[in-house]
Amino acid sequence: MPKAIIVGGGIGGLTAALSFHAFGWKVQVLERAAELGEIGAGIQISPNGMKVFRALGIEDEIAENAFQPEALEMRFGRSGNRIFQIPARQAIIERWGAPYLHLHRADLVASLTRLLHARQPNAVRLYAECERYENTADGVQVHLKSGETISGDLLVGADGIHSAIRTQMLGPERPDYTGNIAWRAVVPMDRLGDLAPPPTACVWVGEHRHAVTYRLRAGQLANFVGIVESESWASESWTEQGTKEEVLADFAGWHPIITNLIAKAETHFRWALFDRQPLTSWVDGRTVLLGDACHPTLPFQAQGAVMAIEDAYLLAKLCSDEADKLSSALKTYFETRQPRTSQVQAASRSNAKLFHKHTPISRAMTYGPMWLAGKIAPGAIRSQQDPFYAYDVREEPLR
């Protein structure tokens, strides 16, 4: 039985472990932290990601603590006036073949961890920090900082945006600051009273900033993400905290739903948003990258985690279909995935401009047609998501 070593116990790494196991591999997940988990925040899993979970036989378990939005909508941030609203839930399933879910990241990681343990107990190893890797004649070795060496047939670098595997493979990166910082907070719904955000996936647009609200954990929590243009930048850390006063100042004069949500949150995390250009390689011998390790994506298309989920399934499938010639499988994986993830990176980059129109004329020219389409041709709005949501990685042909 071939063995895949996966560095990183996040969403991409755990999905990769479940995928490789489903295709008959033994898996070992190496996570440097003391426990698997995510800082409290929401995540959107669109139909293209849910199709992977369906293929792995875990769709129902993943959906247990999720929230399905009633609609997809856009509003003006200050007035709250709706630009468009289109039905979601069953309408999404009918158009794209799977549900669209909002989940707490910690719930998703916990579910993936539990499901992996049920299928291969002790697959995850904590306190295991990778120092370097070494390709050998018939496999790969991972050298841990503890001094231990672990051998396998394939090494998957799923160790995130600051990937040590990518750094060894391609050298240090030089990301570009986008001029935006992001705020995020999660608040129990019972604290928000009559000013709870709507049961939708809602983008609130404004001058030099925008916000996103949606519900988590079967509707018990409200999730807030606020993006603000800023010449100065902080770190790219998900754990850095700002103050309530700073967020309220950034969204001063905005609709009470937004300011109430900010005011009722106990903690306000912030991070600077950096952009990366597509890499020219994800493969070195029997070592390969997936997810944020090779294509970090800005959050404006809500596809970053889903791209890692797609990566994981296709990589496992290709390596299993071509187990006797892994080099060919890895080449096909890169050639198949790199164009798609580059398309998503570009779309995410473009949406930052769409949500931050700075003048009345630009707002009228952009949002006026959206308002009209929402009234007379909602299918035109849905069609904008077809390239992302209609995609089914299970049907990806071998090249």
The CATH number that applies at residue 115 is 3.50.50.60
The rounded distance, in Å, linking the Cα atoms of 170 and 27 is 25
Q: Is residue 22 part of a domain?
A: yes
Asked if residue 367 lies in contact with residue 81, where contact means CB atoms within 8 angstroms, the answer is no
Q: Is residue 329 part of a domain?
A: yes
The rounded distance, in Å, linking the Cα atoms of 271 and 181 is 6
The sheet carrying 287-289 orders its strands as 124-125, 26-30, 3-7, 154-157, 287-289, 283-284
Q: Say if residue 35's pLDDT is above 80.
A: no
List, for residues 38-92, the tens digit of each pLDDT value: 566 899 999 999 999 999 999 999 999 999 999 999 999 999 999 999 999 999 9
Q: Say if residue 208's pLDDT is above 50.
A: yes
Q: Is residue 349 part of a domain?
A: yes
List, for residues 147-181, the tens digit of each pLDDT value: 999 999 999 999 999 999 999 999 988 888 889 99
List, for residues 306-322, the tens digit of each pLDDT value: 999 999 999 999 998 76
Q: Is residue 281 part of a domain?
A: yes
List, for residues 97-134, the tens digit of each pLDDT value: 999 999 999 999 999 999 999 999 999 999 999 999 99
Among candidate residues 83, 76, 84, the one with its CA nearest the CA of residue 356: 76
Q: Say if residue 389's pLDDT is above 60.
A: yes
**Token pair for 256:** 């009470």
Of 375 and 188, the structure prediction assigns the larger pLDDT to: 188
Share of the chain above pLDDT 90, in %: 77
Q: Is residue 13 part of a domain?
A: yes
Q: Which residues are catalytic?
A: 214
**Token pair for 78:** 């200050």
**Mean pLDDT, the chain, whole residue set:** 92
Secondary structure (3-state) at 236: coil
> What local confidence, expressed as pLDDT, does residue 238 receive?
63
Q: Is residue 217 part of a domain?
A: no
| Strand pairing class (42-45; 101-104) | antiparallel
> What local confidence, expressed as pLDDT, does residue 368 receive?
87
- 255 alpha-carbon distance from chain centroid: 27
The rounded distance, in Å, linking the Cα atoms of 203 and 210 is 7
Q: Is residue 189 part of a domain?
A: no
List, for residues 329-375, the tens digit of each pLDDT value: 999 999 999 999 999 999 998 888 888 888 888 888 888 888 888 88
> What local confidence, expressed as pLDDT, does residue 175 receive?
86
> What local confidence, expressed as pLDDT, does residue 257 receive?
98
Asked if residue 227 lies in contact with residue 210, where contact means CB atoms within 8 angstroms, the answer is yes
> What local confidence, expressed as pLDDT, does residue 399 receive?
44
Q: Label residue 190 by pLDDT band (50, 70, 90).
A: very high
Q: What is the mean pLDDT of residues 280-309?
A: 95
Q: What is the mean pLDDT of residues 265-272?
A: 92
The rounded distance, in Å, linking the Cα atoms of 152 and 100 is 36
Q: Label residue 37 by pLDDT band (50, 70, 90).
A: low
Q: What is the mean pLDDT of residues 233-246?
A: 78
Q: Is residue 149 part of a domain?
A: yes
Asked if residue 59 lies in contact with residue 50, where contact means CB atoms within 8 angstroms, the answer is yes
Q: Percent helix, strand, coil in the chain (nearest 5)?
A: 40, 25, 35
Q: Label residue 204 by pLDDT band (50, 70, 90).
A: very high
Backbone angles phi and psi of 231, in degrees to 5: -70, -35
Q: Provide the number of structural domains found in the chain.
A: 1
> What local confidence, expressed as pLDDT, does residue 397 receive?
60
- What is the extent of the structural domain holding 112? 3-43+61-66+105-173+277-353
Q: Say if residue 1's pLDDT is above 60.
A: yes
